[in-house]
């Protein structure tokens, strides 16, 4: 029989992912001292550039870390054929588009209201029953 320790691939106190989940670009930029408004302004400008302009910004030693990071992220995303980064950046700056749902419900709906006036209802029922006798 296999011992419990041999079944587990990690020893107690040992992590399977020592570096953890990679941080998002905006989190990295915030830790470098950039304000959220600065990040959004840079994204807004860079997202309007073409691929050659983005590559130039990404390799420009005079560009800020913010500009280089966002530009490189966009170039990498476009190189992979993925729109995820662009969609994320757009929703960060402009907000997510409003979604609408058309829904048709058919059938009967039964509504029961309990107004919490049980004593009042009992008194009314007693009054009606006394009037019938």
Helix axes 51-59, 65-79, angle to 10 degrees: 140
Asked, for residue 111, whether it belongs to a domain, the answer is no
Asked, for residue 74, whether it belongs to a domain, the answer is yes
Asked, for residue 13, whether it belongs to a domain, the answer is no
> Are 57 and 68 spatial neighbours (Cβ–Cβ below 8 Å)?
yes
Q: Domain tally for the chain?
A: 1
Q: Which residue has the tokens 């049980």?
A: 118
- Per-residue pLDDT tens over the stretch 119-128: 666 777 777 7
Asked, for residue 68, whether it belongs to a domain, the answer is yes
Query: By residue range, what is the domain housing residue 40?
Result: 22-94
Q: What is the pLDDT of residue 26?
A: 62
CA 118 – CA 9 distance, rounded (Å): 63
User: Residues 6, 7, 12, 13: is their CA dihedral positive or negative?
Assistant: positive
Burial of 49 (0-12, 13-18, 19+ CB in 10 A): middle
- Per-residue pLDDT tens over the stretch 2-26: 555 556 666 677 766 767 766 666 6
pTM beyond 0.85: the answer is no
């Amino acid at each position: 029989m296999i011992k419990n320790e041999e079944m587990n691939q990690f020893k107690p106190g040992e992590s399977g992912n020592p570096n953890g989940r990679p941080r998002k670009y905006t989190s990295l930029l915030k830790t470098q001292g950039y304000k959220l408004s600065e990040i959004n302004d840079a994204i807004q400008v860079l997202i309007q550039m073409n691929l050659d302009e983005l590559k130039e910004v990404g390799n420009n030693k005079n560009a800020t870390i913010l500009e280089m990071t966002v530009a490189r992220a966009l170039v990498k995303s476009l190189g992979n054929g993925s729109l995820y980064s662009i969609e994320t950046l757009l929703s960060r700056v402009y907000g997510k588009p409003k979604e609408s749902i058309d829904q048709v419900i058919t059938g009967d709906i039964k509504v029961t209201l309990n107004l919490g006036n049980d004593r009042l209802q009992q008194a009314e029922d007693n009054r009606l029953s006394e009037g019938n006798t």
